Amino acid sequence: MIPIDHTGGYVYTENNKLYTLSSNPGIRVYGEKTVKLSDYEYREWNPRKSKLAAYIKAGGRTFPLNKDSRVLYLGASSGTTASHVSDIASDGKVYCIEFSPRMFRDLVNTCATRPNMLPILGDAVNPSEYQFAVGPLDMVYSDVAQKRQVDIIADNMDLFNTDIGMVAIKARSEDVTLQPSEVYRASEKRLTDRGFEILESVDLEPYENAHKMLVFRRG
């Protein structure tokens, strides 16, 4: 297992596959494969099931996560990607926001054996509703696949006074009539208009169609 340099060594690779070091050995979250090496267990991280893994495979280099990161994760669903973030941020915290009661039930199960992952039933559009449950943050990650994706993450970053953001833009969620490139351009402009600087813009093809990952910081 070889640690990947540009993630600070928190993500591993072997035979072209990605892995995170499991913080909860013996438990699979979504049927992922695991590999045991001496005392350590690694969980395979599939770029076709996780946009954060797709970002790494597609060449993303500004990987703003480490073992101490305190992350607000918007659109956690059942916790597939969030569980890998929790492996990486093993001494940090992952506050997982999900508004679908059905997905939230599965998210609660995922979080049950991961002490650094907190499930919060809430709407990312109204961050003041869950403000009471969230501690100090280092970054916000968002994958909500709905309209106004950049405003949703930017509103959260403003409320929680956070400087680093990472948002998976699903072009079709903004406007099916626009070319994805137009949606990306408008999203980047909206972020810069709101005072953020784009650090990286990574197309997630061929792992995800018509998706881009933007990494940005307060300017």
Ligand X SMILES: C[S@@+](CC[C@H](N)C(=O)[O-])C[C@H]1O[C@@H](n2cnc3c(N)ncnc32)[C@H](O)[C@@H]1O
Q: Are 156 and 139 in contact (CB under 8 A)?
A: no
Count of residues touching ligand X (by CB under 6 A): 19
- Taking CB under 6 A as the criterion, the residue among 24, 80, 86, 187 binding ligand X is 80
Q: Does 142 bind ligand X (CB under 6 A)?
A: no
Sheet holding 93-98, edge to edge: 117-121, 93-98, 70-74, 139-142, 164-170, 211-218, 196-203
For residue 37, the minimal CB distance to ligand X (Å) is 25
Query: Among residue numbers 97 through 136, which ones bind ligand X (CB under 6 A)?
Result: 97-100, 103, 123-125
Q: Which is nearer to ligand X, 99 or 216 (CB)?
A: 99
**φ, ψ (nearest 5 deg) of residue 171:** -55, -40
Among left, alpha and beta (phi > 0; psi -120 to 50; other), residue 59 is: left
Give residues with Cβ within 8 angstroms of 129, minimum separation 6.
Answer: 122, 123
Query: Among residue numbers 37 through 76, which ones bind ligand X (CB under 6 A)?
Result: 50-51, 75-76
Q: How far apart are CA 53 and CA 127, in angstroms?
A: 26
The two three-digit tokens of residue 155, written as one number: 């509103």
Q: Does 146 bind ligand X (CB under 6 A)?
A: yes
For residue 219, the minimal CB distance to ligand X (Å) is 26
For residue 38, the minimal CB distance to ligand X (Å) is 29
Contact string (CB under 6 A) for ligand X, positions 178-197, x = contact: --------------------
Give residues with Cβ within 8 angstroms of 217, minimum separation 6.
Answer: 163, 164, 165, 196, 197, 199
Q: Which is nearer to ligand X, 42 or 141 (CB)?
A: 141
Contacts with ligand X by CB under 6 A lie at 50-51, 75-77, 80-81, 97-100, 103, 123-125, 143-146
